[in-house]
């Protein structure tokens, strides 16, 4: 992956396709290459130039380096859009990445043509606060979970019961985690970002993107349940909300065809359904 020096750091990125730019912002603990599985091919086929990148903390942090803040990640996205896109871009984020995109909309609305916010929230409620505390204890504590136990913990959080109760799919996900186990080092670098203050008032005051914002909730998401995403859609002026059924926090990987159809439809200025995608 090529590197660009921006916002005081080196950012590894990849781009594919031609046309208007779309920047994809990944969530906690995962590299930007995860987008390559499903979303990048669909968007390239639809005629877009797609940029993916690794958030700070995905690559090992230098010894003594401070853990990244949301402001750091927002600055990185702003710098990438300015350096690689030369102006406005469509931004897509999931989970922590959606939080980052929301904050880019607050800080630099002039750079956002359209925004898609998946598996997002605008505040930390009681259970999500407890979950973030538990994640921090696992990532930052001296006693570490065995890799297999950590992988199962992540899958319970991130997948729908429809997936976990399907023998073939469950086996495939467990095999995937065995070959590509989630990184405790990355989680340690980014775990503090799971806690967020109530930002809904800030989102009510944003200048909406010229071509709108779409919030996508995943029906069985335990980490960022749809009702918290709907709050974000209700706060951002003229934003829309839609929900995808039978998937959890990894909905863009569990039901990629449904998610990709929503992305392409929204970017093509055709209003997506506000009903659940079955």
199, 166 contact by CB (below 8 A): no
Mean pLDDT of 207-230: 97
81 to 23, 39, 89, 150: CA distances (angstroms):
8, 19, 7, 34
Q: What pLDDT score does 95 carry?
A: 94
For the chain, the average pLDDT equals 88
Q: Structure tokens of 57?
A: 């903390």
CA separation for the pair 127, 114 (Å, rounded): 31
Among 85, 30, 82, 37, residue whose Cα is nearest residue 53: 30
What phi, psi does 126 have (nearest 5°)?
-60, -50
- Per-residue pLDDT reduced to its tens digit, 95-138: 999 999 999 999 999 999 999 999 999 999 999 888 888 877 77
List the alpha helices (DSSP H) in the chain. 39-45, 70-80, 96-107, 126-140, 147-158, 161-164, 167-179, 184-190, 200-204, 226-235, 251-254, 256-267
Mean pLDDT of 67-90: 91
> Cβ neighbours of residue 12 under 8 Å, at least 6 residues apart?
1, 2, 3, 32, 53, 54, 59
Q: What pLDDT score does 278 carry?
A: 55
CA separation for the pair 220, 222 (Å, rounded): 6
Band of the pLDDT at 273, cuts 50, 70, 90?
Answer: very low
- Per-residue pLDDT reduced to its tens digit, 144-168: 777 788 788 889 999 999 999 999 9
pLDDT surpasses 60 at 274: no
Q: At what angle do helices 96-107 and 70-80 cross, to 10 degrees?
A: 70
- Per-residue pLDDT reduced to its tens digit, 181-190: 666 665 565 5
Q: Structure tokens of 112?
A: 């956002």
Mean pLDDT of 58-84: 83
Band of the pLDDT at 275, cuts 50, 70, 90?
Answer: very low
Q: Structure tokens of 157?
A: 């959080």
Question: Locate tokens 């997936």: which residue?
Answer: 163
pLDDT surpasses 60 at 250: yes
- Per-residue pLDDT reduced to its tens digit, 14-54: 999 999 999 999 998 788 999 999 999 999 999 999 999 99
Active site residues: 95, 221, 249
- The pTM (predicted TM-score) of the whole model is 0.91
257, 39 contact by CB (below 8 A): no
pLDDT surpasses 60 at 270: no
21, 49 contact by CB (below 8 A): yes
Share of the chain above pLDDT 90, in %: 65
Mean pLDDT of 50-76: 82
Q: What pLDDT score does 91 carry?
A: 98
CA separation for the pair 172, 230 (Å, rounded): 31
């Amino acid at each position: 992956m090529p590197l660009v020096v921006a916002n005081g750091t080196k950012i590894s990125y990849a781009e594919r396709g031609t046309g208007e730019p779309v920047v994809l912002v990944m969530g906690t603990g995962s590299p930007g290459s995860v987008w390559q599985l499903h979303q990048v091919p669909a968007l390239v086929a639809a005629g877009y130039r797609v940029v993916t990148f690794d958030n700070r903390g995905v690559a090992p942090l230098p010894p003594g380096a401070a853990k990244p803040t949301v402001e750091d990640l927002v600055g990185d996205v702003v710098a990438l859009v300015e350096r690689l896109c030369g102006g406005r871009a469509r931004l897509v984020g999931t989970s922590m990445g959606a939080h980052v995109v929301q904050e880019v909309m607050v800080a630099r609305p002039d750079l956002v043509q359209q925004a898609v916010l998946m598996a997002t929230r605008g505040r930390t409620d009681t259970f999500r606060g407890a979950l973030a505390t538990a994640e921090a204890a696992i990532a930052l504590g001296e006693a570490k979970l065995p890799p297999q136990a950590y992988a199962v913990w992540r899958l319970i959080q991130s997948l729908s019961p429809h997936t976990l109760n399907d023998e073939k799919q469950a086996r495939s996900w467990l095999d995937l985690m065995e070959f590509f186990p989630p990184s405790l080092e990355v989680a340690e670098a980014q775990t503090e970002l799971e806690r967020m203050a109530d930002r809904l008032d800030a989102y009510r005051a944003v200048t909406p993107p010229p071509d709108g914002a779409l919030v996508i909730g995943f029906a069985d998401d335990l980490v960022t349940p749809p009702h918290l995403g709907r709050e974000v859609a209700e706060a951002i002026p003229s934003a829309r909300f839609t929900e995808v059924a039978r998937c959890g926090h990894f909905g863009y990987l569990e039901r990629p065809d449904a998610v990709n159809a929503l992305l392409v439809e929204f970017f093509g200025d055709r209003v997506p359904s506000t009903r659940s995608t079955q």
